[in-house]
């Protein structure tokens, strides 16, 4: 195609009348729908560069860190379900797993202490 490329700045070829979309798809061995996506991307952004892929997703509760810490300080034995209900009353709808991940992020452990030790055999309890 006369040294013009689809993936660089000359992607304007797609939007100009030099070639049809079918010719461009055939020349670059891509589907017609891919050419259409490149044209749309070129027209909206002026580039066909890929956008950021992957990365870190933030926490849904990030803006409520102090409130959650305060609530846990007030009631240290609060369960995830109770914390979820408390958040729902404040119009924050999140799952228990989201709360658990956020608490882990804050280095707040959320394990209950067992009321008693592990059970053993009857022989051990009787001292036999």
Percent of the chain with pLDDT over 70: 72
- Separation CA 12–CA 19 (nearest Å): 10
CA 98, 101, 103, 109 torsion: positive or negative? positive
Instruction: Please report, for the chain, the start and end positions of each structural domain, with discontinuous segments joined by +.
Output: 9-45, 62-105
| pTM confidence score | 0.47
pLDDT per position as a tens digit, 62-89:
889 999 999 988 988 888 999 999 999 9
List CB contacts of 60: < 8 A, sequence separation 6 or more: 92, 94, 98, 102
Model confidence at 123: pLDDT above 90: no
**Angle at the Cα of 27 from the Cα atoms of 23 and 32, rounded to 5 degrees:** 55
38-46 long-range contacts, CB within 8 A, separation 24+: 38/6, 38/7, 38/11, 38/14, 39/11, 39/14, 39/15, 42/11, 42/12, 42/14, 42/15, 43/15
Looking at per-residue pLDDT, the higher value among 17 and 27 belongs to 27
Q: Which residue has the tokens 């979309």?
A: 21
């Amino acid at each position: 195609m006369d040294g013009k490329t689809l993936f660089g700045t000359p992607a304007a070829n797609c939007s100009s009348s030099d070639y049809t979309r079918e010719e461009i798809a055939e020349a670059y061995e891509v589907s017609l729908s891919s050419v259409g996506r490149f044209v749309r991307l070129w027209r909206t952004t002026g580039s066909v560069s890929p956008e950021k892929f992957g990365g870190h997703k933030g926490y849904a509760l990030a803006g409520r860190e102090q409130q959650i810490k305060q609530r846990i300080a007030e009631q240290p034995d609060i369960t995830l379900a109770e914390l979820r209900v408390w958040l729902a009353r404040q119009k924050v709808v999140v799952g228990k797993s989201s709360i658990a991940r956020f608490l882990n992020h804050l280095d707040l452990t959320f394990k209950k202490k067992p009321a008693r030790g592990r059970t053993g055999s009857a022989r051990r309890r009787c001292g036999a």
